[in-house]
Structure 1
Amino acid sequence: MIIDSHQHFWKYEPVKHSWIDDNMVVIRKDFMPSDLQSVYQENGIDGCVAVQADQTLEETDFLLQLSNENSFIKGVVGWVDLRANNLEATLEKYSEVDKLKGFRHVVQGEPDHNFLLRPNFLRGIEVLENNGYTYDILIFPHQLGATLDFVKRFPNMNFVIDHIAKPYIKDGFYDGWAVLMKEIAKYENVYCKMSGIVTEADYNTWTPEQIQPYMELVLEVFGPNRVMFGSDWPVCLVAGNYTKVKELTTNFIAALSADEQQQIMGINAMKFYKL
């Protein structure tokens, strides 16, 4: 099975989706399961994990509703306020919802470099771990130092780094990112999504050759059993199309064994999220 480990849905609202800037006008519209289903049929994708784009419980409920109506949405990564005193009570409401697999916070948007290490946030992760959920780590490279300290504290929690931690490919930034990714990858409970890479390069002029060193580093340090393919649809559309994004990964891993390719293209996501 080919599983897209990372994509989004939304009903576009200019204020709520203010992060969609003037360079991304192509995605200033609604993106719903009917749009994605046809894309998946063209590209041979069997299912996906829908990930939050908005930091509200309404977003979590919206994605769960879509997953109930569309069997190809195999799992949901929602949002909940991990710093809230009533976190346990909120999670209790979702305890019977099988498709809710984990949670994410848009840490990349937090001005505090050490946001992940704040006591109330750490307590929230503890609660997630006790309830068997996963956590998606969405950060920029300047937050990798805090991320290293963060993952050290939870050796039994299932973490996945989204979008290979968004290295500044367009600016040729590599070494500082690579050093910390190597350290983080030493923790075997941390996975990495090969997703959202084309949008860190120049939207119009990126080439697979330019991106390959970043993918090589990720594959080398995490290994084929902890890397997952993800499209980041529809965000990826600002820098190409679904087929190009999928081929970036499938061409890159073509020299691996059939088993290793299957792990990256689906098995790892199924295992990590218990799909």
Structure 2
Amino acid sequence: MIIDSHQHFWKYEPVKHAWIDETMSVIRKDFMPNDLKLVYEANGIDGCVAVQADQTLEETDFLLELASKNEFIKGVVGWIDLRAENVDDLLQQYESYKQLKGFRHIVQGEPDPNFLLRPEFLRGISKLEAHGFCYDILVFPHQLGAVLEFVKRFPNQKFVIDHIAKPYIKDGFYDGWAMLMKAVAEQENVFCKLSGMITEADFNTWTPAQITPYMELVLESFGADRVMYGSDWPVCLVAGNYAKVKTLVTNFVEGLSHHEQDAIMGDNAVKFYDLK
């Protein structure tokens, strides 16, 4: 089974989606399940995890509604304000939604490099394990030092690094990112998504050869049992198409055993997110 561990849906609104700038104008439109279903049929994808792109409870409810109507959406990573005083009530409220697997905060957009270590955020994260929720970590490389301290505090909480922590592939940034990713990977409760890579390279001139060293570091550090494929559709469309994203990863893993390939392309996502 091939599972896309990371994709998004939205009904485009210029103000809400202001992060979609002129260089990304190709995705300034609606992207809904009917669109993705056709893409998956063409690329042999069996299911996906829909991940929040907006930090509202309405976004979480929107994704859960889509999942309830589309069987191929196997899981949802939503958003709640983990800093809220009523976080216990929110978690209790959402616990009954079996397709809701975890939460994410757009930490990459926070000016404080130590946002993850704020006491009120740590308090919210400390509640997730008891409710069976995982947490997606979305950061830039300069925030990885905080990530390392963050994940060490919760050794039993399931974490996954989105988009290999968004290294600046376009600028050839590697060493500092690699050092910290190796350290984070030593925490066995942390997984990593091979996703969002082509949009960290030059949109128009990237090549697999430029991205392969980053994938090699992730595979070497996390191992084939803690790495999962993700497309980051439709964001990936600004630098290619779905087939190119999938082929980038499948070509990279083709030298691995069948078991390892199956793990990376789907089984690890099923395990991590407890997909049915």
Shorter-chain TM-score above 0.5: yes
Deviation at 1:93, TM superposition (A): 1.4
Question: Residues of 2 paired with 1:13 and 1:126: CA distance?
Answer: 34
Structure 1 residue aligned with 2:153: 153
Q: Secondary structure at the residue paired with 1:199?
A: coil
Counting aligned pairs with the same residue, the percent is: 75
Write out per-residue CA displacement over residues 70-94 of structure 1, whole angstroms, 9 at most, x where no aligned residue.
0000000000000000011112111
Question: Residues of 2 paired with 1:16 and 1:177: CA distance?
Answer: 30
Structure 2 residue aligned with 1:164: 164
Q: Secondary structure at the residue paired with 1:76?
A: strand
Structure 1 residue aligned with 2:223: 223
Question: Residues of 2 paired with 1:58 and 1:124: CA distance?
Answer: 19
Write out per-residue CA displacement over residues 37-64 of structure 1, whole angstroms, 9 at most, x where no aligned residue.
0000000000000000000000000000
Deviation at 1:98, TM superposition (A): 0.3
1:238 corresponds to 2:255: no
Structure 1 residue aligned with 2:57: 57
Question: Residues of 2 paired with 1:229 and 1:150: CA distance?
Answer: 24
Write out per-residue CA displacement over residues 205-245 of structure 1, whole angstroms, 9 at most, x where no aligned residue.
00000000000000000000000000000000000000000
Q: Secondary structure at the residue paired with 1:88?
A: helix
Q: Which amino acid in structure 2 is aligned with residue 8 of structure 1?
A: H
Q: Which amino acid in structure 1 is aligned with residue 249 of structure 2?
A: T
Write out per-residue CA displacement over residues 125-146 of structure 1, whole angstroms, 9 at most, x where no aligned residue.
0011221100000000000000
Structure 2 residue aligned with 1:204: 204
Question: Residues of 2 paired with 1:147 and 1:93: CA distance?
Answer: 28
Question: Residues of 2 paired with 1:167 and 1:95: CA distance?
Answer: 34
Q: TM-score normalised to the size of structure 2? A: 0.99
Structure 2 residue aligned with 1:250: 250
Q: RMSD of the alignment, in Å?
A: 0.4
Aligned residues: 275
Q: Which amino acid in structure 1 is aligned with residue 227 of structure 2?
A: V
Q: Secondary structure at the residue paired with 1:214?
A: helix
Deviation at 1:97, TM superposition (A): 0.7
Write out per-residue CA displacement over residues 183-218 of structure 1, whole angstroms, 9 at most, x where no aligned residue.
000000000000000000000000000000000000
Question: Residues of 2 paired with 1:96 and 1:150: CA distance?
Answer: 27
Structure 2: unaligned runs, 5 residues or longer: none
Structure 2 residue aligned with 1:186: 186
Q: Which amino acid in structure 1 is aligned with residue 139 of structure 2?
A: I
